[in-house]
A and B are shown apart, each in its own frame.
Chain A
Amino acid sequence: MDALQRKNRRLILQLVLGGLLMFGFGFALVPLYDVFCRITGLNGKITNTGPVAVEEADSSRDIRVQFIGVNNEAMPWEFRPLLNTVSVNPGEMRQMAFFARNPTARRMVAQAIPSVTPSEAAQYLHKVSCFCFDQQALEADERMEMPLLFVIDKKLPPDIHTITLSYTLFDITPVLPVAQIKTADIQRSPL
């Protein structure tokens, strides 16, 4: 009986450890998912940022770049691109801007989160500078043009002719500590 008990105890220990390991693996999936997306560029997040060496533009190709500005749920700002579409040569540096206005009577802080479609294009869209790198603060009724400077890599696959760059604006104005927010305070926009 003693031998059996020892055998059982070892097996239980291994199985419990296995369970704990899988619990940890569930959480490890969070960074793993990010790393996987960064390596493969699959989720349309832009990772190429910062200054680039100036190059000769490839004038044989015209890429349509479309811009979209969206407000997240309760965000009341006016937010839109100055131009909906621009035509760009790969390698050419281009400046664009988004318009934002805070129509409320209080100071608000916003953060724009970008996304690129098709997601394969994300790794070829290089942002030299972008308003989405920083938080944007606007006083009551203040308006602003938020600049964006980007280059499309010449290595962009030839089958991609249109790239859509979408920004979602989130309200990150510091308010009450999270624990004090009640569900009822969160306004839902009707669908």
Chain B
Amino acid sequence: MDTTLSQTVGTTDHGHGPAKGLGRWFFTTNHKDIGTLYLWFSLLMFLTGGCMALMIRAELFQPGLQLVRPEFFNQMTTMHGLIMVFGAVMPAFVGLANWMVPMMVGAPDMALPRMNNWSFWILPFAFSLMLSTLFMEGGGPNFGWTFYAPLSTTYAPPSVTFFIFAVHMMGVSSIMGAINIIATILNLRAPGMTMMKLPLFVWTWLITAFLLIAVMPVLAGVVTMMLMDIHFGTSFFNAAGGGDPVLFQHVFWFFGHPEVYIMILPAFGIVSEIIPTFARKRLFGYASMVYATSSIALLSFLVWAHHMFAVGMPLAGELFFMFATMLIAVPTGVKVFNWVATMYHGSMTFETPMLFALSFVVLFTIGGFSGLMLAIAPADFQYHDTYFVVAHFHYVLVPGAIFSIMAGAYYWLPKWTGHMYNESLGKAHFWLSFVGVNITFFPMHFLGLAGMPRRIPDYALQFADFNAVASTGAFIFGLSQLLFVYNIISCIRGGERATDQVWEGSHGLEWTLPSPVPYHTFSQPPVIK
């Protein structure tokens, strides 16, 4: 980015720092405070969902039922998915957007600061409501994170109503967050910051925000239909009353497929910021990155039924969704090519953010390839609902979305806190996570190909060895996250002072600000050449 700050920014001259005490966090309208809240919340949810994953893996360590009852196991798989998707990954990206987008476009704050406060503070209530269902009579949601009807309507535990309201609240929060981000990017850019000068993280978030506004209301619609089927005697998904359970899957995946891009596009943005910094080269093919991201977003609306190949679709439908899905590999391939081309002939160094970004590129691509395998409709009949699917989406979500979030956290922590994190600890965290993730999820490919179904608490004996390996990996990965938490906390409390530019090769408006960033920045818009 050839953006430079031509004037020193007057920041605290009117002496308006953060409020004192807890009130600061409840009533704040400052984008940095709200970003911090989002990030802490998502870390808490990540650890909660992680504990559930470890409970699942502990039960699956050997065949037979050892630790939990099957009913509870089902609640764990469901809650793990819901918490990780809606509680960990999405809020983490919103938190990073809150922190970075105004600083990257040269804005003093988000466009709608009060709504920003509201959209965060809905989340703790939504998730308390959802987690509280675990303690209710009949237990929490046990129908899988995709909550297919009639499992989630006719056969659901009574607590499903609370689950529905929690999803409504998350939806409202996401939509408000998305509106805020779009308004900030479109209306608050500093003079001279044209659209094609925006950092890629901002671009990917702009597109993600439009996806959110397009599909979160559809999710709200589908849970509302469930609510009406359960309590008001309608028959949207009930065949006895003229409805159709397959309709649920169509409406759900019309939301669900763009949702998976909501969870990966900002990751593309973060990686596109980090790789040029540590390769000390400009991003290769900036414009093609923007167009690739937009075409992925558009295509994501046309491929939803590839989640339902086994539902009994006509041949024409299977073929259409198969080819449309494979088409997405083209813009994604463009992005991977650009990242590799950025590194080509660069003078690379391998600090923790770069390590996470590099493993993102490699492991996300593996997840992409298993996605292509699943896209082959005739082969999908074999893979459908097996551990192969579990391996696929964990490869794109854990070393994909989660690694990019960790990369972003390490990359921007010195800017946020003014201290360098502990590099050796960061590297240890990376290597343990990298090894742990692969030990956990790689054997699942083989389990799936051998026919082990997903969402089961017990399994046939021939799957025992790979399951034991996967469970071991899960505990390595899970426990190594404690290093991450420790590293963040010690980085906040002290450490080597960070320079303003932090990284030798960093470019962009956020690196022209002092470290730590003052409470108010760009009160006067920067001038961009």
Within 8 A of A (CB), among B196-249: 213-222, 225, 231-233, 236, 239-240, 244, 246-247
Judge whether A42 is part of the interface by a CB distance below 8 angstroms: yes
Closest A residue to B222 using CB positions: A26
Pick out which of these stretches binds chain A: B78-86, B180-188, B439-447. Answer: B180-188
Closest A residue to B179 using CB positions: A15
Q: Which residues of B contact A7 (CB under 8 A)?
A: 187
Closest B residue to A16 using CB positions: B179
The contact string, 1 if C-beta is below 8 Å from chain B, for chain A 56-86, is: 0000000000000000100000000000000
Instruction: Say yes or no: A12 contacts B314, CB within 8 Å.
Output: no
In the complex, the number of residue pairs spanning A and B with C-beta atoms less than 8 Å apart equals 96
Instruction: Say yes or no: A11 contacts B251, CB within 8 Å.
Output: no
Within 8 A of B (CB), among A1-20: 4, 7-8, 11-12, 15-16, 18-20
Instruction: Say yes or no: B182 contacts A33, CB within 8 Å.
Output: no
Within 8 A of B (CB), among A102-117: 111, 113
Shortest distance between the CB of A9 and any CB in chain B (Å): 10
Instruction: Say yes or no: A22 contacts B233, CB within 8 Å.
Output: no
Q: Which residues of A contact B251 (CB under 8 A)?
A: 26, 29-30
Q: Which residues of B contact A172 (CB under 8 A)?
A: 240
Instruction: Say yes or no: B250 contacts A19, CB within 8 Å.
Output: no
Pick out which of these stretches binds chain B: A47-55, A146-154, A178-186. Answer: A178-186
Instruction: Say yes or no: A8 contacts B182, CB within 8 Å.
Output: no
Q: Which residues of B contact A27 (CB under 8 A)?
A: 221, 225
- Most chain B beta-carbon neighbours within 10 Å: one of A4, A7, A11, A15: A15
Q: Which residues of A contact B218 (CB under 8 A)?
A: 22-23, 25-26, 29
Q: Which residues of B contact A24 (CB under 8 A)?
A: 221
Instruction: Say yes or no: B254 contacts A29, CB within 8 Å.
Output: yes
Instruction: Say yes or no: A11 contacts B231, CB within 8 Å.
Output: no
Judge whether B158 is part of the interface by a CB distance below 8 angstroms: yes
Judge whether A129 is part of the interface by a CB distance below 8 angstroms: no
Shortest distance between the CB of B255 and any CB in chain A (Å): 8
Judge whether A136 is part of the interface by a CB distance below 8 angstroms: no
Within 8 A of B (CB), among A121-177: 168, 170-172
Judge whether B112 is part of the interface by a CB distance below 8 angstroms: yes
Size category of the binding interface on chain A? 35 or more
Judge whether B130 is part of the interface by a CB distance below 8 angstroms: no
With an 8 Å Cβ cutoff, the count of chain B residues facing the other chain is 43
Which of A26, A40, A113 contacts B217 (CB under 8 A)?
A26
A101 to B225, CA, bound (A): 35
Which of A8, A43, A168, A179 contacts B112 (CB under 8 A)?
A8
Instruction: Say yes or no: B187 contacts A8, CB within 8 Å.
Output: yes
Judge whether B154 is part of the interface by a CB distance below 8 angstroms: yes
Which of B182, B232, B244, B247 contacts A15 (CB under 8 A)?
B182
In the complex where A30-B236, A170-B239, A170-B240 touch, is A23 in contact with B179 (Cβ < 8 A)? no
Judge whether B369 is part of the interface by a CB distance below 8 angstroms: no
The contact string, 1 if C-beta is below 8 Å from chain A, for chain B 316-340, is: 0100000000000000000000000
A113 to B243, CA, bound (A): 11
Instruction: Say yes or no: A19 contacts B217, CB within 8 Å.
Output: yes
Instruction: Say yes or no: B183 contacts A11, CB within 8 Å.
Output: yes
The contact string, 1 if C-beta is below 8 Å from chain A, for chain B 275-295, is: 000000000000000000000
A4 to B189, CA, bound (A): 11
A43 to B178, CA, bound (A): 36
Shortest distance between the CB of A130 and any CB in chain B (Å): 16
Closest B residue to A23 using CB positions: B217
Judge whether A120 is part of the interface by a CB distance below 8 angstroms: yes
Shortest distance between the CB of B314 and any CB in chain A (Å): 5
- Most chain A beta-carbon neighbours within 10 Å: one of B222, B225, B233, B314: B314
Question: Which residues of B does A touch, CB under 8 Å?
Answer: 111-112, 138, 154-155, 157-158, 175, 178-179, 182-183, 186-188, 213-222, 225, 231-233, 236, 239-240, 244, 246-247, 250-251, 254-255, 312-314, 317
Enumerate 6 A-B pairs (CB-CB under 8 Å) in ascending A order.
A4-B188, A8-B111, A18-B214, A22-B215, A23-B218, A26-B225
Question: Which residues of A does B touch, CB under 8 Å?
Answer: 4, 7-8, 11-12, 15-16, 18-27, 29-30, 33, 40, 42-43, 72, 111, 113, 119-120, 168, 170-172, 178-179, 183, 186, 188
Given contacts A4-B187, A23-B221, A27-B221, 14 further A-B contacts (CB under 8 A): A8-B111, A8-B112, A26-B218, A29-B251, A30-B236, A33-B247, A42-B313, A111-B240, A119-B312, A168-B239, A170-B239, A178-B232, A183-B158, A188-B155
- By Cβ-Cβ distance, the 6 closest A-B pairs, closest first, are A26-B221, A23-B217, A178-B233, A22-B217, A170-B240, A26-B218
